[in-house]
Amino acid sequence: MGPARSFIKTVLVGLALAALAPPLQALAQSRPPRSQSPNDGWQVCNETSYIVETASATGPGNSLTVEGWTRIRPGECRQVLAAPLPQGPAYLHARSSDAHAGPPRQWGAGHYYCIAERGRFKQAQPRSTCQEARLNSAEFIAITIDKRTLFTTRLTETENFGMARARAAGIQRLVADLGLDARRIDGYARRRTSQAVQRFQREQRLPANATEAALIDAMEAEARRKQQNVGLLLCNRTPNRVWAAIARRRADDWESRGWWELPAGECARAINEPLLQTMYYVHGIMETDTGDRQLSQTTERFCVGATRFAIDGRGGCAARGYDDQGFVAAKPPQGRENIVFEFFERDFAAAPLSRSPTQ
């Protein structure tokens, strides 16, 4: 079996996730007036400058059901659970759209549940580990629902935009993601932003009276297309599942990070920003019926964790509670902004590992 079995929380894992997240404030609860409408239930309002996707976990005791993904534009509220609401503990995870430049933003604290990485899903939590159920794991934050009809959770950043400014800040962020303007994202409409939006509308042949929601959707689609040509993309060309990790030079030290789950034939973006003119290294474990097989012909060694990890430095792995594993070099960008690293079955050692890296 490969690594990243259950993503059990440890102090180190908590630090790794914190490094991936923006400085988002705690979930703030509001109590809007009681009303009867199709929008009743558990509402999540996005007061950040990011397009977010949310997953929720609800249910009694050991019978939790996890459901996602609900996409929420900046300055928008969406229902994640219909009324009548079960009073008591519930859990929420949020992540930024992969159209946004830079590292993914994740929101959660203290509770790990299994998720499907893509598409809509609704599933009971497996009795086995997430990996044995062929699912990934994400960190959720606990919410106490104390209303039966309407309950609202607000996602906020350090700067409290509110709903109206969040919509403007979201458009500013997408403008920046598209490389049209890199001014401060503050939620205040400015001439440069308006000019960039108008230019985008002309280029994409959007009507001048397009709604803000339609504009955000079109900008997200174009930003996602643009991001496909930026960063480090890991692609699995084998018939089996692959778990991948990367290593690179950051500032004055090395960094290793993982794991990315790659089902057969699928890709994942490990770095979502323009690459520097430096070396990048990749580690991979392929699951097979006869055992796990590692990449062969490795040239460098870095630390890896048994669960999701982000590790500074490459020395003293065992003393720090990590495994020391071999990595292969990815071709440097050489003037380009992206690298596509492909895993082929021929690149893995013929003999399976004598033991799992998690043991």
Q: Flag whether 116 is in a domain.
A: yes
3-state secondary structure of 345: helix
Kindly list the distances between the CA atom of residue 179 and the CA atoms of 2, 100, 104, in Å, as whole numbers in the listed order.
Answer: 39, 11, 18
C-alpha to C-alpha distance for 300 and 184, rounded to whole angstroms: 40
Sign of CA dihedral 349, 354, 356, 359: negative
The number of domains in the chain is 3
Judgement on whether residues 140 and 248 belong to the same structural domain of the protein: no
> At which of 227, 248, 263 does a domain end?
227
Q: Flag whether 21 is in a domain.
A: yes
Taking alpha carbons only, the member of 65, 31, 39 closest to residue 145 is: 31
Taking alpha carbons only, the member of 268, 299, 294 closest to residue 281 is: 299
Strands of 65-201, DSSP E: 65-72, 76-81, 88-96, 106-107, 111-115, 121-124, 136-145, 150-156
Q: Flag whether 352 is in a domain.
A: no
Q: Flag whether 64 is in a domain.
A: yes
3-state secondary structure of 339: strand
3-state secondary structure of 346: helix
C-alpha to C-alpha distance for 197 and 251, rounded to whole angstroms: 35
Query: What domain range is 236 assigned to?
Result: 231-347
Judgement on whether residues 19 and 125 belong to the same structural domain of the protein: yes
Taking alpha carbons only, the member of 295, 300, 302 closest to residue 318 is: 302
Judgement on whether residues 173 and 149 belong to the same structural domain of the protein: no
Q: Flag whether 16 is in a domain.
A: yes
Tell me whether residue 338 is exposed, middle or buried, using C-beta atoms within 10 angstroms of its C-beta: 0 to 12, 13 to 18, 19 or more: middle
First to last CA, the chain: 10
3-state secondary structure of 109: coil
pLDDT digits (tens, 9 = 90+) for 110-156: 898 888 877 888 888 887 777 667 677 889 999 998 888 899 999 99
Tokens 């509402």 — which residue?
43
Q: Is the peptide bond before 260 cis (omega within 30 degrees of 0)?
A: no
Sign of CA dihedral 330, 333, 336, 337: positive
C-alpha to C-alpha distance for 108 and 279, rounded to whole angstroms: 32
Taking alpha carbons only, the member of 127, 136, 103, 133 closest to residue 19 is: 103
Judgement on whether residues 222 and 252 belong to the same structural domain of the protein: no
Judgement on whether residues 173 and 137 belong to the same structural domain of the protein: no
3-state secondary structure of 13: helix
Q: Flag whether 3 is in a domain.
A: no
Check residue 6 and give its pLDDT.
32
Judgement on whether residues 117 and 64 belong to the same structural domain of the protein: yes
Judgement on whether residues 148 and 243 belong to the same structural domain of the protein: no
Check residue 12 and give its pLDDT.
23
> At which of 181, 204, 227 does a domain end?
227
Q: Flag whether 6 is in a domain.
A: no
Judgement on whether residues 147 and 174 belong to the same structural domain of the protein: no
Q: What's the distance, CA 225 to chain centroid? A: 17
Judgement on whether residues 281 and 189 belong to the same structural domain of the protein: no
3-state secondary structure of 117: coil
Check residue 29 and give its pLDDT.
44
Task: Show pLDDT as tens, one digit a residue, over the chain (359 residues).
Answer: 455 433 222 222 222 333 333 434 434 444 444 444 667 899 999 999 999 999 999 987 678 899 999 999 999 999 999 988 887 789 999 999 988 987 778 888 889 888 887 788 888 888 777 766 767 788 999 999 888 889 999 999 988 899 989 999 999 999 998 988 767 889 987 888 889 999 999 999 998 888 999 999 999 999 988 877 778 889 999 999 999 999 998 878 899 998 888 989 988 888 877 777 778 999 999 999 888 999 999 999 999 998 888 899 998 999 999 999 999 999 776 656 678 899 999 999 987 765 444 33
Q: Flag whether 264 is in a domain.
A: yes
What six digits make up the tokens of 30?
Answer: 């509001």
> At which of 125, 156, 187 does a domain end?
156
Judgement on whether residues 42 and 152 belong to the same structural domain of the protein: yes
* Secondary structure string (H, E, C) spanning 260-279: EEECCCCEEEEECCCCCCCC
Whether residue 279 contacts residue 319, with contact meaning beta carbons closer than 8 Å, is answered with no
pLDDT digits (tens, 9 = 90+) for 6-17: 322 222 222 233
Judgement on whether residues 69 and 126 belong to the same structural domain of the protein: yes
According to DSSP, residue 347 is labeled G
Judgement on whether residues 203 and 264 belong to the same structural domain of the protein: no
C-alpha to C-alpha distance for 161 and 76, rounded to whole angstroms: 12
Whether residue 86 contacts residue 59, with contact meaning beta carbons closer than 8 Å, is answered with yes
